[in-house]
Structure 1
């Protein structure tokens, strides 16, 4: 008599497939960021394999030049700040912003990019939050060997909205969350930041208003994020999953 397969096996396989697509989608976003920043392959797309503090530092090191590009592009738009034209007038201001302004703060680069309509509220919240986590690593050598999830939990004691900001509005239960899965979620947030910046730097075609504003329909964006990899990437998703088997994160919705 043939033994029956466990009833949970199809569900488990489905979860593995969804997780593989999720990781593939992140990888593609990070690889696109590498190309735009003109940096060697693997600099960002292999973030999972980096020590936690290196991962955080690399993210900040990629965010800052991206924000610089956004400021320069925003200054070059016809309206400029307050409707005053244009890149000739504001070129010295853009140079000053790149060289002198801090990333965060009321007079920082992120705030300037927001006023230029080059970053959204969730983009700003993510960048400011990961910068705060970076500071915890950078200003205390004892933290260099600590896990990302431990520092996030520690920082959340002083900011109840920290995880929501770090993960683009998602409500994540951080208690008992495996560190490997926290790194996956951080990479996902980072890929969303890069995607948002790319839409504003190179607005998509296919609709005058969307092209003008540098936007895509919310349902299209959210659908892409939810589906993970495209249908043509099924085999690739499996390969990605094999590559990242060391990630110890849960793959059931209740764990999030």
Structure 2
């Protein structure tokens, strides 16, 4: 069985989120436990508007994500700048086009993490991620938070982006602040941590194919008058079977 495939997908207006996406990539690759691919969300604004916004040139070497590509991956790290505390229209437009994936439960149980950029420390470092959670919930995606794995996240004497919700960067009101080495290191930690969790979630679980050691046999149940347990081999839908396995793996994830 090959390594799980993790996609790093970003939208970046001025280049800040792209820099963090590259740091996420390095963290994922450092783990050695997943295969990684980099994508970006399609632009929806016309060129003249982007020019007036002084947006950075788009990196044409990075392919654009499509729902078909999303379905074939095992996990996702998604990054974008805030727009008044929520995801930008470019990102929402893409997820609005994933109805066919939703109808088939194609993303059910797959892990996903977030990273982001805001103008200030109070500009949406947490609300941007929090407001995006309905997309995960409706697709049945598993949200993997960052927690506080870096000592930089406890500093109060310097501006440092990121939160327990995910890595982040403070760009400044005019976009002049560039990602610091602290913000970049936090993003690399998130990538490495996400790879660790994804590999555990998607690793083959032999226990799922074996009956519980203490499970009673049908004859024991009949003698004791206990109800016969439901068969683990019943003809469930693929999505229900996948969720049952996912829940079992999740219970043992942090043991």
In the superposition, the TM-score normalised over structure 1's length comes to: 0.30
Bigger relative contact order, structure 1 or 2 (CA pairs below 8 A, ≥6 apart)? 1
Task: Considering fraction of residues, name the structure with more strand.
Answer: 2
Task: Considering fraction of residues, name the structure with more helix.
Answer: 1
Structure (1 or 2) with the larger CA radius of gyration? 2
In the superposition, the TM-score normalised over structure 2's length comes to: 0.31
